[in-house]
Amino acid sequence: MTKQRKPSYLDFDINQYPWKAGIDYNKTPEAYRVGKGEQGVLICEPYKTDIGSHWRFKTPEIALKSSKEIFELFELYIKAGDFVGADMARKFLQMGYTRARRYANYKGGKKYDKDNGYAELERGTGEEQKAESAAIFYQKWKDAEADPAYAEMKAAWKSRLG
């Protein structure tokens, strides 16, 4: 049985979204908000471009290389005291997990049938190797979240700026 729930992106209100295109978050980090999960990951420049150029999950081998490179960027941002960069790297690691899981769970990574009232498509029809890619990203994402320096920076940022 399929669920009759619309995807959240259908009612997306760009005006209410705290992340804005056209802002250089490296030059104006105070404009950055942590948010939930992966929010803002595909908007915040220059991090989107810098980190996104390493983001791949097609095969476990590619995911291993990609997650390692992104985690190395995460560590460099931490060393530089760049919380926005570190948080964006963490978000890309999380997104590596969630997107790979989507492709592992659903054929072609499509969860909803837009031609059938956005009914959720059958689960378990995806690619097994994407589940391996997801597991690789999951570990790196959790490693980033467990980093004590990151946790301290995040708590300070959220209390100061949100």
Whether the CB-CB separation of 136 and 64 falls below 8 Å is answered with yes
The residue ranking higher by pLDDT, 98 or 116, is 98
What is the per-residue pLDDT for 3?
52
Q: Please check the confidence at residue 35 and state whether its pLDDT lies above 90.
A: no
Percentage of the chain exceeding pLDDT 70: 91
* Structure tokens belonging to residue 106: 């659903």
Domain boundaries, the chain: 20-160
Q: Please check the confidence at residue 31 and state whether its pLDDT lies above 60.
A: yes
* CA pseudo-torsion sign 32, 35, 37, 41: negative
What is the per-residue pLDDT for 118?
84
What is the per-residue pLDDT for 4?
56
Weakest-pLDDT range from 30-39, 52-61, 131-140: 30-39
The type of residue at 33 is: R
Nearest Cα to Cα of residue 120 among 134, 102, 101, 97: 102
What is the per-residue pLDDT for 96?
97
* Structure tokens belonging to residue 60: 């476990």
What is the per-residue pLDDT for 10?
66
Query: How high is the mean pLDDT of the chain?
Result: 90
Backbone torsions φ then ψ of 58, nearest 5 degrees: -55, -45
Whether the CB-CB separation of 87 and 35 falls below 8 Å is answered with no
- The mean per-residue pLDDT over the stretch 146-160 comes to 96
The residue ranking higher by pLDDT, 123 or 141, is 141
CA gap 76, 53 in Å, rounded: 16
State the burial class of residue 94 (Cβ atoms within 10 Å of its Cβ: 0-12, 13-18, 19+).
buried
